[in-house]
Amino acid sequence: MDTLRIDRRVVLVTGAASGIGHAIARACAVEGATVHLADVSDAVHEAAEKLAGAGGGIGSEVGSGSVASHVCDVTDPAAVRALVDDVVTASGRLDVAFLNAGVNGVPSPLQPGGAIDEIPFEAWRRVMDVNLDGLFHCLQHCARVMKRQRSGSIVVTASTAGLRAEPRVSYPYVASKSAVVGLVRQAALELARFGVRVNALAPGPVVTNIGGPGPRPEAAVAEWENSVPMRRWGRPDDVTGLALLLASDDSSWMTGGIHVVDGGASALTQVPSDALPAPIPTPDSGTD
């Protein structure tokens, strides 16, 4: 029996130039979906060309669908509306939306400049603009189309950092992903009667460029690995199986779910105290 069928589906993936978004776009293309890749970077065009086989990519694996690319800044509501309209104009409908665009780039509370009283508001605002406001714009315009169709699946990239406090992750990232979890659940309640499902992926530590390109400090890499029972970082391809499930009819009775992919990390119910900064001694208030 064929399962996870998404061939002939029209799929939009935001944040698709690299990382989890690109892995999901690739998996959908292999399964024969018509895939529209969107990203704020012009690199999305090269990523799409590789998927289509134009640059020595996976052309022999791609099924009967097609691949297209779009540059879009999700913080601009007019640009997001135009993106969704362009997808529908080109492909006739929108069946699946993977809303994956996200940023971080702010130090954690364990790093210099990451304490609550040290973060510049501009840095906070940038993360919230993309991760929360950008998601809202995408949800709004994808829902507009899918409500009219009376069908569709929206899959949002949340994070395990939105499910519990995580001292190795920045304040704005934790706050934005926590809000994303609530937004997904709220949208699922409204859209269920229209035949539209809304779910979230909640990855743990995955090797992507979200914290900036370049090598990470070895000590930080080891700390993260030690927090995962499976003792390794995730890879973008570790997320694609669940993503395809949520896009397919095999998940037709699944909505409002926050689905964790983290090597078992969230099964640990407590953050060990040695992952936190050492207490600061209280100044001696006595008198000589």
User: Sheet of 196-203: strands edge to edge?
Assistant: 67-71, 34-39, 10-14, 96-99, 152-157, 196-203, 258-261
Three-class SS state of 109: coil
The helix-helix angle for 43-51 and 19-30 (nearest 10°) equals: 30
Q: Which residues lie closer than 8 Å to 261 by C-beta, 6 or more apart?
A: 201, 202, 203, 204, 234, 238, 239, 242
Would you tell me how many other CB atoms lie within 10 Å of the CB of residue 132? 18
Catalytic residue from among 65, 83, 119, 173:
173
Q: Do the beta carbons of residue 57 and residue 22 sit within 8 Å?
A: no
| Distance of alpha carbon 168 from alpha carbon 56, whole angstroms | 38
Q: 8: closest CA among 133, 93, 123, 97? A: 93
| Distance of alpha carbon 158 from alpha carbon 184, whole angstroms | 9
Amino acid in the structure at residue 158: A
**Kind and range of the H or E run holding 209:** none
Note if 173 is an active site residue. yes
Q: 243: closest CA among 39, 16, 89, 69? A: 16
Give the catalytic positions in this structure. Answer: 173
